[in-house]
Structure 1
Amino acid sequence: MFGKLTAIRGNQITIQLDNELNHYKLAKWANGKQPTVELHVDDSRMISPDQRRKIFAMLNDMAHYCGYEARDMEAEMKFQYYIKTGSEEFSMANCTMSQANEFLTFLLDFCFQFGIPFKTRTWDMIPDTYPKAMQCLRHRQCVICGKLHSDIDHFTPVGIGSRKLVDHRKLYFECLCREHHQERHQLGAKSFIAKYHIKPIRLSEQDLINLHIMTRKRMNEIDERIEQNEEQQTRISINRDPI
């Protein structure tokens, strides 16, 4: 259903629906569960010159790498986008800002997934809103220059002992090529991050497993050990309490 947003008060909104909605129909759609809705605000603003420039820079890099003509590359990627999203056809000349952002995100995800390299100029144009640091870690690309087959670097020191004993879920990571990895050690972590304006991030449990940093078995062992220690501390505390 569609409607118009008529009021906003904190985290509560009022929507005037284009068609009437009765309780019977709502209950039927919700299948006996608590009804939920998704709010999608139509962005009627037109694609900006900056968005168009970034998209065409990406398409040109992809065309050069894949051996396509730039126009053919655009047609191919739009076709792939339509298949994946079910979107209607659009033109780069007059699509909306939200449509352009979605297509740009699709192109970035596609390049990371299939290892299509970016030129330095294109790499620097990736929007700050795009989760580049996470994609770089997942696909082993340097977060600074985009070089493939880069190193996963611990921003948080892990010490000299065995890394098998470390709970990597609590640590922060960045992906760096060999050259930038060496520079990071020369400058020190804080100076290096200040120079390149990057932000180390935590990895999800599934990403840690996929990247062979931790195993599910090791995570469970750590969780069991923590639980045992907490139980032991609780028993000690109870025994110390006066009767």
Structure 2
Amino acid sequence: MTGISGRNLTLTVDDEVSLYEVAKLANGKQPSVDLQVEDGRSISPDQRRKIWALLRDISDFTGDVIDYTEDLLKGYTRQIFGIEAYSLSDCSMTTASNMIYTILEFCFRNDIPFKTRTWDMIPNDYARQWFCLRFKKCVICGKPADLAHFETVGMGRNRYAINELDYHWMSLCRVHHTEQHATGIDSFIAKYHIKPIKLDADQLRKIKPQYAKGVGK
């Protein structure tokens, strides 16, 4: 919503609207718009938009109809988080967040490509950072990536003698890693709004096999 005056609302949609498509979808009926006001309790329009964008990417990749994909990912979410059946029309914000987390893990684990638009919609929070690190995807573009420290290790310092639990991590492809070194870490972080994260010992073992052998503790 971009404007309000009395009973009149001005709406701005994400994509260009085709009157033909609107008429086709309305099937001869008067087109209507469903306006939902986020109140902090039920699933937000932003969460719902992210979920459907991710589900469409999965369906496009697998060839399954989106209803099947929705039911599949809802089932995984219920199983993982131990929750009852729910609807994306009125579930809680917590359930919606859990479903986004489940979908992200499913996509990363099965190497399902994200469309650029979808990737940009994924919240740049802990979950996205962790999945990118775990599955070695660039947190900026989603391409194959390497692990990177936020803090500078320092010239002449033994990388295998540092305590990696003290460091913040991010995953960057070669192109963005090179850009990070060229522009400086602070400017790079500010440009892409990256939030490097700390990892616990179990997480480090998952992304760095050498850590499990006692190296880098």
| Contact 2:50–2:121 under 8 Å retained in 1 | yes
- Inter-CA distance 181–75: structure 2 relative to 1 (3 Å threshold): same
Greater RCO, CA 8 A, separation 6+: 2
Moved more, 117-126 or 49-58: 117-126
User: Aligned match of 2:149 in 139, 146, 154?
Assistant: 154
Q: TM-score, with normalisation over the residues of structure 1?
A: 0.64
Q: Report the secondary structure of 2:179's partner residue.
A: helix
- Inter-CA distance 205–216: structure 2 relative to 1 (3 Å threshold): farther
Moved runs in structure 1, 4+ residues, more than 4 A? none
Residue of structure 1 equivalent to 2:72:
76
Distance 1:113 1:157 in 2: 30
Pairing 1:167-178 to 2, within 5 Å after superposition: 167-178=163-174
| Contact 2:101–2:127 under 8 Å retained in 1 | no
Map Cα deviations across residues 102-132 of structure 1 (whole Å, 9 max, x no partner): 2222212222333323222112212355532
| Contact 1:105–1:130 under 8 Å retained in 2 | no
Q: Report the secondary structure of 1:62's partner residue.
A: helix
- Inter-CA distance 46–118: structure 2 relative to 1 (3 Å threshold): same
Distance 1:63 1:197 in 2: 29
Distance 2:55 2:171 in 1: 24
Q: Report the secondary structure of 1:143's partner residue.
A: coil
Residue of structure 1 equivalent to 2:43:
47
In structure 2, stretches of 5+ residues that fail to align are 1-38
| Contact 2:81–2:98 under 8 Å retained in 1 | no
Q: Could you tell me the percent identity over the aligned residues?
A: 42
Q: TM-score, with normalisation over the residues of structure 2?
A: 0.71
Distance 2:182 2:40 in 1: 49
How many pairs align? 177
Residue of structure 2 equivalent to 1:166:
162
- Inter-CA distance 161–191: structure 2 relative to 1 (3 Å threshold): same
- Inter-CA distance 209–81: structure 2 relative to 1 (3 Å threshold): closer
- Inter-CA distance 162–98: structure 2 relative to 1 (3 Å threshold): closer
Map Cα deviations across residues 2-34 of structure 1 (whole Å, 9 max, x no partner): xxxxxxxxxxxxxxxxxxxxxxxxxxxxxxxxx
Residue of structure 2 equivalent to 1:135:
131
In structure 1, stretches of 5+ residues that fail to align are 1-42, 223-243
Residue of structure 2 equivalent to 1:66:
62
Query: Between Structure 1 and Structure 2, whose CA radius of gyration is higher?
Result: 1
Residue of structure 1 equivalent to 2:214:
217
User: Aligned match of 1:187 in 183, 199, 202?
Assistant: 183
Pairing 1:12-31 to 2, within 5 Å after superposition: none
Residue of structure 2 equivalent to 1:39:
none
